[in-house]
Structure 1
Amino acid sequence: MKIDRTMSSVYDALPPSSAREFRAELRRVLVSAVEDLNVDVLQMRLDGLVLTWWAVASAHHSPSAAAATESARRLLQGDASDVIPASEAFGRGD
C-alpha cells in the first residue's frame, strides 16, 4: 500500500492507537505554534510530524511487517515451525 506524505493520507493509514498518538502530537505542535507565532517553525514541525508518522503508517502496512508479526504470534504460542528469519522478514537477506 502506497501512502502519500500528506497529513490526511498518513492519518487515514494509521491504526486507531497510533492515530490517537498522532492527534495528541499534532495538538502539541499546534499549541507550541500559537505560543511561538512563527509560521516557518510551524511548517517545519508539521513536516517532521507527517514524515515521522508516514514511516509508522508505512511500516504498519508493510507485507514484511505483517510476516514478522505473524511469526512473533506463532513463537509466543510456542510454535517455532515455519518461522521467518528476521533477516528475511525485513528484507536484509542475501
Structure 2
Amino acid sequence: MIKITFPDGSVREYAEGTTAYGIAESISPRLAADSLAASVNGATVDMMRPIETDAVVRFYKWDDAEGRHAFWHTSSHLLAEALEALYPGIKFG
C-alpha cells in the first residue's frame, strides 16, 4: 500500500500502481470526470499514469492554469500526430 497525501493534509492508502484517475474516482466520480491532469510530488502527469510510491497528489481541472496548460499541450500533440498521418514527412516549425 502507498500513502497519498492531498492538499488539505488528509492521507489515504491505495494499492501500489493506482492511477491518479483511480484515486480521483474513489473520492468522487465527478472529480475524476472533471480532472484533466494531476500533480504527483510536484510533477504534472496524465491521469492514467500509475503511482508506485507514497506521494502528494493534486488534481487539475479546467479552472486551474495547470489544467488548461495540460489540455492544450496534449491537444497539440494529437494534432501533430494527425498531421503526420495525413502528410507523411511534414515538418513542424
**TM-score scaled by structure 1?**
0.32
Structure number with higher relative contact order (C-alpha < 8 Å, ≥ 6 residues apart) = 1
- Of structures 1 and 2, the larger Rg is shown by 1
Q: Which has the higher strand share?
A: 2
Q: Which has the higher helix share?
A: 1
**TM-score scaled by structure 2?**
0.32
